[in-house]
C-alpha cells in the first residue's frame, strides 16, 4: 500500500512540477525549459526510436517537438500530463515525416511507367517486390492477410475489419504485429 501511495505522490509531483515548468517557460525561463527537456528527452527519443528505427531522426523529431512547446505551448493541460502532450506531438511529427517521405518518393517516380525505367531499375524493383513477398510468406496467415489487404488492396483498417470479420482492434494489432515481425527481415534483405 505504501508503494502505491508513493507512486501516486511521485506522479502528482511530476504533473504539478510540469505545470509549474510550463508556466515558467511561457514567461521565458530558459532554466525551466532545460529542466523539462531533461525530464522527458530520453524517453521521447526512445519512443521515437521504437517507431522509426533511426536514432538521428528520433533526436531531430524530439527537438522539433520541444521547439513546438517553445513556440506554441499548450494553453492548459487539464487532467493530463505535459508528457502525454509532448509524446502526442512527437508522434504526429513522426507521422508527418513519414507522409513527406512517401510523397517525396512518389514525386520522384511520378510519371515514370515501367517501360520508361531502365532495365536495371525494373529488375531491382522486381527483386524488391519478390523479397517482400517472400518475407510475407513467413508470416502467419492472419497477419499476412491483413498486410496484403492494407498494402496491396489499399484498404483502410475499418474495411479490413469488415472483410475479415475481425474487430477493428484485432486488425490494428495484427498490422502492428506483422510490421514488428517484418522489420528485421526486411532489414536483413536490405530493402
70: Cβ contacts below 8 Å, ≥ 6 apart: 25, 33
Last residue of some domain: 77, 105, 133? 105
| Same domain for 166 and 93 | no
| Same domain for 157 and 90 | no
| Same domain for 95 and 25 | yes
Instruction: Quote the Cα angle for 64-67-68, to 5°.
Output: 90
Read off the CATH number of the domain in which 156 is found: 1.10.10.10
Structural domain contains residue 112: no
Task: Please tell me the predicted confidence (pLDDT) of residue 189.
Answer: 59
Instruction: State the DSSP string of 34-89.
Output: HHHHHHHHHHHHHHHHHHHS-HHHHHHHHHHHHHHHHHS--S--SSS-HHHHHHHH
Task: Please tell me the predicted confidence (pLDDT) of residue 103.
Answer: 60
Q: What is the pLDDT along the chain (191 residues), one digit of tens a residue?
A: 445 444 443 333 444 477 777 778 777 777 887 888 888 899 899 888 888 888 999 999 999 998 888 787 776 655 567 788 888 889 889 888 888 877 655 544 454 444 555 666 667 667 776 777 788 888 898 888 888 888 777 788 888 888 888 898 999 999 899 888 888 877 775 54
Last residue of some domain: 105, 136, 165? 105
| Same domain for 80 and 33 | yes
| Same domain for 146 and 78 | no
Structural domain contains residue 11: yes
Q: Specify the number of domains making up the chain.
A: 2
Last residue of some domain: 105, 139, 160? 105
Structural domain contains residue 115: no
Task: Please tell me the predicted confidence (pLDDT) of residue 64.
Answer: 92
Question: Residue 184: which domain range?
Answer: 121-189
Residue 102 near residue 94, CB atoms below 8 Å = no
Amino acid at each position: 500500500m505504501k508503494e502505491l501511495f508513493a507512486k501516486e505522490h511521485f506522479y502528482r509531483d511530476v504533473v504539478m512540477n510540469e505545470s509549474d515548468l510550463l508556466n515558467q517557460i511561457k514567461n521565458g525561463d530558459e532554466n525551466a525549459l532545460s529542466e523539462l527537456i531533461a525530464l522527458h528527452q530520453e524517453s521521447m527519443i526512445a519512443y521515437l526510436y521504437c517507431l522509426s528505427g533511426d536514432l538521428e531522426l528520433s533526436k531531430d523529431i524530439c527537438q522539433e517537438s520541444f521547439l513546438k512547446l517553445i513556440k506554441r505551448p499548450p494553453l492548459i493541460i487539464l487532467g493530463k500530463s505535459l508528457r502525454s502532450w509532448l509524446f502526442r506531438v512527437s508522434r504526429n511529427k513522426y507521422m508527418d515525416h513519414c507522409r513527406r517521405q512517401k510523397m517525396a518518393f512518389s514525386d520522384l517516380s511520378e510519371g515514370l511507367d515501367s517501360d520508361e525505367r531502365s532495365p536495371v531499375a525494373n529488375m531491382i524493383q522486381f527483386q524488391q517486390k519478390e523479397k517482400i513477398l517472400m518475407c510475407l510468406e513467413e508470416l502467419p496467415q492472419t497477419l499476412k492477410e491483413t498486410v496484403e489487404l492494407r498494402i496491396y488492396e489499399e484498404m483502410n483498417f475499418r474495411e479490413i475489419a469488415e472483410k475479415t470479420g475481425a474487430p477493428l482492434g484485432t486488425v490494428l494489432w495484427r498490422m502492428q504485429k506483422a510490421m514488428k515481425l517484418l522489420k528485421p527481415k526486411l532489414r536483413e534483405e536490405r530493402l
